[in-house]
Amino acid sequence: MMNIRAADANAMREVGRWLATCVRAGDLLVVSGELGAGKTTLAQGIGAGMGISEPIVSPTFVIARSYRNAHGPDLVHVDAYRLGSTVELDDLDLDTEISDAVIVVEWGSGKVEQLSEHRLEVMIQRSDEIGDEVRHVDITPVGTRWNDVNWQIPAALQVVR
């Protein structure tokens, strides 16, 4: 597991840009954290790092948004918060898109793990200090897919442990 300290929203986007250098088509990222933790901000950074030119916006009300990428895999951004069951998740047909896209699922913990035995589990936690914008981003690779990834974290990001 890696733990990165993101001092503000810009730093969270930088974490996402760095993660974009580690992912490829077929990858699943399960992003967890309380409301306002920075899940969508992280997805914005991933999209920017992948070369997605259109703005990445929260999929809360539409549940899933697909972003076409002329220079690499597409990005599918999902908000599983309102999904009550795996049947509702199955209706999204994410399993058919997973081989051609990078799929980022907010609120997906306990709901989407069956999509891939190889995934990144990302937990975003707020600082305990009131009014503090600092977030701690725990990144846990699950599965052998991640064994050959160069996890060199840029010096601009603050690694906690």
The pLDDT, as a whole number, for residue 81 is 79
Q: Crossing angle of helices 9-20/39-50, nearest 10°?
A: 50
Cβ atoms of 123 and 137 closer than 8 Å = yes
The pLDDT, as a whole number, for residue 128 is 72
Cα of first residue to Cα of last residue in the chain, in angstroms, is: 8
User: Among candidates 78, 74, 47, 46, which has minimal Cα distance to 62?
Assistant: 78
Which CATH number is 2-136's, of 3.40.630.10, 3.40.50.720, 3.40.50.300, 3.90.1150.10? 3.40.50.300
pTM: 0.89
Domain residue spans of the chain: 2-136
The tens place of each residue's pLDDT in the chain, 161 residues long, gives 899 999 999 999 999 999 999 999 999 999 999 999 999 999 999 999 999 999 999 877 777 888 999 889 999 999 887 766 554 555 555 555 567 899 999 988 888 888 888 999 999 998 877 667 899 999 999 999 999 999 999 888 888 86
CA dist., res. 96 & res. 76, Å (int): 12
- CA R_g for the chain: 15
